[in-house]
Amino acid sequence: MLTAAQTRRAALRAQIAAEQAPLTLRRPAKNAEGPGRPVLMAVAAHKGRLSVHFGQAREFLIYEVRGTGIRLVGLRQIDPYCQGPLECGGQEDGLEQTIRALAGCEVVLCAKIGHEPWERLVAAGIQPNGEHPDERIESACLAVWHQMFQAGKLTDPQVSQVA
């Protein structure tokens, strides 16, 4: 019989192992697109979780997200907009470079984001999202895609022209 301390240690080991497990991506089948169009999402993550602040990101993983799954399609490396936990802002060139690096993405997911970068991303046509801190990449991306779909933002232009 295990003691309470041994049980807690075993539970902690299991939790750490689950957090460090490799991310399993569901790849959409080529012919199974499902409803709605795909969305390119830039993700600031570490070890498969949205745990990176926008200003401290050194890279963004780029995913094509559909209702049927996500697929890693690229990596965009950048210089961080923030130089420390209290030294954000004032680096206009760094923020502009980051926004240019995210061109083509509709959404950027991160653990946190400040007001100025948020507004600048929106002005560039990129929707920031900090609503899923510390979540696994796949679940956060799919949640955002489904939220966009429910809001009617993912109507396939070809389908709407036919109707």
The CATH homologous superfamily to which domain 23-156 belongs is Dinitrogenase iron-molybdenum cofactor biosynthesis domain (3.30.420.130)
Question: How do residues 43-82 score in pLDDT, each as one tens digit?
Answer: 999 999 999 999 999 999 999 999 999 999 999 999 887 8
For the whole model, what pTM was predicted?
Answer: 0.74
Contact call for residues 133 and 54 (beta carbons, < 8 A) = no
pLDDT, residue 29, reads 45
Place of tokens 């070890």: 47
pLDDT, residue 160, reads 34
pLDDT tens for the chain, 163 residues: list them: 778 777 777 666 665 555 444 444 555 544 446 688 999 999 999 999 999 999 999 999 999 999 999 999 999 999 887 876 556 655 557 899 999 999 999 999 999 999 999 999 999 999 999 999 999 999 999 999 999 999 999 986 543 333 3
Strands 69-77 and 39-43: unpaired
